[in-house]
Amino acid sequence: MAASPLLDDLRAALGPEAVLTDPDLLRGYERDEADLCAAGTPLVVTRPRRTEEVAAVVRAAGRYGVPVVPQGARTGLAGAANAVDGAVVLSTVAMDAILEIDPVSRIAVVQPGVVNAALSAAVAEQGLWYPPDPGSWESSTIGGNVATNAGGMCCVKYGVTTEYVLGLEVVLASGEVLRTGRRTAKGVAGYDLTRLFVGSEGTLGVITEVTVALRPAPAASLTLVAVFGSTAAAGEAVARIAAQGLSPSLLELLDRTHLTAIEAYRPMGLRTDAEALLLAAADTGPRAAEDLTELAAVCTAAGAEEVYAATDAVEAAALLQARRLAHPAMEKYATDTYPGGNGGLIIDDLAVPRGALAALLDGVARIAAECSVPIGVVGHAGDGNLHPNIVVDRADPASLERGRRAFDEIMRLGLDLGGTCTGEHGVGLLKRDWLAREIGPVGVRVHQAIKSALDPAGLLNPGKVL
């Protein structure tokens, strides 16, 4: 059992079972799922169960000037949860209680370690719905979702995580416990500290409780598929859907690379000869059939070669499942592309104004050709948020270099098109330089001023975001 005054303090506060120092165990807490990001070896992993224990960890680390890296389920894709050498990792996964569900106020109060799917299931039992549905929803935690302001497929109609966070309890760098926000449906009292902490990736405080807004369960949705002969035509269809005032509850794009990868991963009769496929859904109850007809008409007018509606809920679920398989299927595609076992993905994430989607898709194809690197594109086309997935051979420096170049070119193109360097994955380590470029020197100074105001010693998740 490793000894140090800090470890003694942590064991005294949490009990030895919640303080891990075994090197084999520590290795499991080094990084999230992001590629291209550095990760260090923590001194210790703590697993507090209560707010006071989180505060004790933060205060103890502060006494010894040791950084604190908060972690949820480490499903992040930007390195925000990566450990730094010698840090105290603060894992919130043991804080997994759903404290309250109130159907009249339409709120739930949860500890940060509650898994998104667990909350969704619990509120569904009461006819309620927690919309944010990141790809990781079956394993990621609400605390992590809030810290990264996670997105998902619902966002095109229902917005990202921050739209559903009413209030927070946060342990500050000082060890003080701050409560932000409210339990009421409406309220404008003071600065919006809640949303300042949402998406701040553990750099301003450690979230210990979350009050989320819920919605009534939506009506069953109807789903359609539109098949396009070019990605740009699919992008154009998205722009026209918005211009016509339609509000699909889902509007996803899969390009040919992804269709091929998914079909190889789990054959389900996808049109792998198509250049792009749009999946759209309408959840407007008695209006849904009419909305679906309008969506189909717009897709056809924008050049879709084929448009068909899912015949029933089973087929609709299968189509959604295909979309959900994009990530593991592309991982396999990368492995198959580079048979040495070192094939991998650089998963990118950016958003552009809807009107620029076609230009972005064309540009990504051009960059893939110029950099001689395979890039598949999948994403939440309806809100202009795409994930270009760059396929590299991790064992080949030249391949990695081409992948990095493509990544940078895509980021540059996105900003040139009036976009943002991250639509939903966050900044972490992966996008720090691009964030600085996006927000400019004044924006960086304001970020630093706020960080210094709340964490003067710079011990909370150092090196992330800024």
- Of residues 206 through 265, those in contact with a copy of itself by CB under 8 A are 215-217, 239, 242-243, 245-247
Q: Which is nearer to a copy of itself, 245 or 269 (CB)?
A: 245
Tell which positions 125-164 bind a copy of itself, by CB under 8 A: 127-128, 148-149, 151, 155-156, 160, 162-163
Cβ neighbors of 255 (< 8 A, separation 6 or more) are 231, 275, 276, 361, 376, 377, 378
Of positions 23, 286, 339, 397, contacts a copy of itself by CB under 8 A: 286
Tell me the window of 112-120, 221-229, 279-287, 317-325 that interacts with a copy of itself (CB under 8 A). Answer: 279-287
Do 48 and 70 touch, CB atoms closer than 8 A?
no
Nearer to a copy of itself, 343 or 423 (CB): 423
Amino acid residing at 122: A
Identify the residue among 71, 91, 120, 200 touching a copy of itself (CB under 8 A): 200
Please return the burial class of 436, using the count of CB atoms within 10 Å of its CB with bins 0-12, 13-18 and 19+.
Answer: middle
- Look up residue 447 and give its two tokens: 């970020």
The half-sphere exposure of 244 on its side-chain side, counting CA atoms within 13 A, is 19
Residues 6 or more apart whose Cβ sits within 8 Å of residue 365: 231, 375
Give the three-class secondary structure for 208: strand
Please choose, out of 27-35, 115-123, 322-330, 434-442, the segment that lies near a copy of itself by the rule CB under 8 A: 434-442
Quick check: 44 binds a copy of itself (CB under 8 A)?
A: no
By beta-carbon proximity to a copy of itself, the closer residue of 41 and 247 is: 247
Question: Which parts of 172-218 fold into alpha helices (H)?
Answer: 193-197
Buried b or exposed e, range 187-207, using 16+ CB within 10 angstroms: eeeeeebbbbbbbbbbbbbbb
Taking residues 85 to 104 in sequence order and writing x for each that binds a copy of itself by CB under 8 A, - otherwise, the string is -----------------xxx
Tell me how far, at minimum, the Cβ of 327 lies from a copy of itself, in Å: 18
Q: Does 188 bind a copy of itself (CB under 8 A)?
A: yes
Helices (H), 211-324: 231-243, 256-265, 288-301, 313-324
Q: Which of 99, 124, 418, 457 binds a copy of itself (CB under 8 A)?
A: 418
Least Å distance, CB 290 to a copy of itself, is: 8
- Residue with smaller CB distance to a copy of itself, 182 or 332: 182
Residues 428 and 170 sit within 8 Å (Cβ to Cβ): no
Among residues 354, 387, 394, 402, the one that binds a copy of itself under rule CB under 8 A: 354
Closest CA to 271 of 325, 313, 322: 322
For residue 387, report the phi and psi dihedrals to the nearest 5 degrees.
-115, 95
Of 178, 309, 318, 359, the residue at the interface with a copy of itself (CB under 8 A) is 178
- Characterise 458 by phi-psi region: left (phi > 0), alpha (psi -120 to 50), beta (else): left
Q: Is 15 in the site for a copy of itself (CB under 8 A)?
A: no
Distance of closest approach, residue 412 Cβ to a copy of itself, in angstroms = 15
User: Does the protein bind a copy of itself through residue 380 (CB under 8 A)?
Assistant: yes
- Among candidate residues 79, 111, 113, the one with its CA nearest the CA of residue 98: 111
For a copy of itself, which is the closer residue by CB, 16 or 187? 187
Count of residues that bind a copy of itself according to CB under 8 A: 90
Residue 426, interface with a copy of itself (CB under 8 A)? yes
Kindly tell me which of 259 and 435 has the beta carbon lying closer to a copy of itself. 435
Q: How does strand 206-213 pair with strand 107-110? A: antiparallel
Smallest distance, Å, CB 465 to a copy of itself?
Answer: 6
Based on the shown chain and the rule CB under 8 A, indicate whether residue 17 belongs to the binding site for a copy of itself. Answer: no
Is 280 a binding residue for a copy of itself by CB under 8 A? The answer is: no
- The smaller minimum CB distance to a copy of itself, of residues 7 and 101, is found at 101
